[in-house]
Amino acid sequence: MLAIICLTGCNLSIAQSPSETLCLPIDSQAHEIDGLYVLPEDGRAPVIQEIDAARCSVDVSIYMITDDQVIDALARAQARGVPVRMLLEATPFGAFGGQVDTLDEISALGIEVKYGPDAFRFSHAKYIVVDGAVGIITNQNLTYSSFESNREVGVITTDTEVVRSLAAVFEADWSGNSLDDIADRLVVSPENSRESLVDLLASAEQDIRLYVEVIRDDEIVAGLNDAVARGVDVRLVVNAPNDDLDFEVLGALAKGGVDIRVADHIYIHAKALLIDDDIALIGSHNPTSTSIDDNREVSLEVTDPVAIERVRAIFDYDWLLSALWYPEARGADERIQNSMNIPLALDMPMMYGYCVRTVPMGLAQVSR
């Protein structure tokens, strides 16, 4: 049975304008912590409360944004004198006609907004830097479905090296400059992502847990199958395959011994990789060659025990509620419901660990 852990309590202090409080350099951080939030259970609070706490600056890099409540929070920040900048993907996949209307709406609020650099196939990174001191790195778009109906995972961090590096990624893409040093825990496409992902899979000794919206990269598929061959328990929670290539890739993984289950209780948009209960990779990377080699993507390696425990609990929860998948079962009913004894009253494990609040003097605190 899954453990249920409730961790609550935050003090939020919001200055009225940047001039009313001192925005200290990032080196002044009193605590360096990572807090995890999970959607749809945790809702908008983790993101909106951080934006509402901003006193100096908010920089947003996002693939798509349509959620009115988040847009309102950004507008409030701009209205109280906090400069807000946004990098937006010009032509997100499936958004017919691009995001011209969205760019115009954001610009009308006084927010500086521009499309991501042409150097990338897609500007698919999803992160926010608040006051140069707090970073939100996530899978989610800032859309209604991301908050209300998708499985999404995000990290809020006050790690000074990570946040400084995240801010440097934003500045490089905002100004069109090259990106130099990247923090050790930050995985950035296309600079260091392929090596980082391959090394993570190769490091697994006991188990790999992976949420997959789509998987298409040959080296990642080989890395997962290689892990099985050396005795690692590899499990994937995926969405139902919808084309021939999906079936081909999942079939190759199943043949290699990877256990696959199809979620039909929730849409899997999460990009979360868990290695041996030691490291979780959370961010925007899909295991596809486009994501790894051609896009701007950002993910974070997380080792915080509370965050790791919740990633594992959430994955196990979705695993229990998902259906077995067999490559030979393609047809009218390619998803075969598992026969495990799932408790009727199974609850989402709540480990309320995202609580990172910005307070006066540029400090950050967490309540656990």
| Segment 44-72 mean pLDDT | 95
Checking if the pLDDT of 8 tops 70, the result is: no
Q: Which two tokens stand for residue 310?
A: 């919740």
> Percent of the chain, pLDDT > 70?
79
pLDDT confidence band for 37 (50 / 70 / 90): very high
More confident residue, 69 or 10: 69
Alpha-carbon gap, residue 364 to 359, rounded angstroms: 6
3-state helix, strand, coil in the chain (%, to 5): 35, 25, 45
Handedness of CA 116, 70, 364, 3 (dihedral sign): negative
Q: What is the pLDDT of residue 129?
A: 97
Checking if the pLDDT of 15 tops 60, the result is: no
Q: What strands lie across the sheet with 186-189, from one edge to the other?
A: 186-189, 297-302, 279-283, 272-275, 207-212, 233-238, 259-262, 323-325, 335-336
Count Cβ neighbours within 10 Å for each residue of 229-245 and write b for 16 or more, e otherwise.
eeebebbbbbbebeeee
Checking if the pLDDT of 2 tops 50, the result is: no
More confident residue, 336 or 197: 197
Checking if the pLDDT of 51 tops 80, the result is: yes
Q: What is the pLDDT of residue 26?
A: 52
pLDDT confidence band for 31 (50 / 70 / 90): low
| Segment 138-158 mean pLDDT | 95
| Segment 41-50 mean pLDDT | 92
Instruction: Give, as one character, the DSSP assignment of residue 240.
Output: P
Alpha-carbon gap, residue 333 to 352, rounded angstroms: 37
- Delineate the domains of the chain, giving CATH numbers in brackets: 18-184+351-366 (3.30.870.10), 193-336 (3.30.870.10)
Count Cβ neighbours within 10 Å for each residue of 261-296 and write b for 16 or more, e otherwise.
bbbeebbbbbbbbbbeeebbbbbbbbbbebbbebbb
Checking if the pLDDT of 341 tops 70, the result is: no
pLDDT confidence band for 94 (50 / 70 / 90): low
Checking if the pLDDT of 150 tops 90, the result is: yes
pLDDT digits (tens, 9 = 90+) for 234-275: 999 999 988 899 999 999 999 999 999 999 999 999 999 999
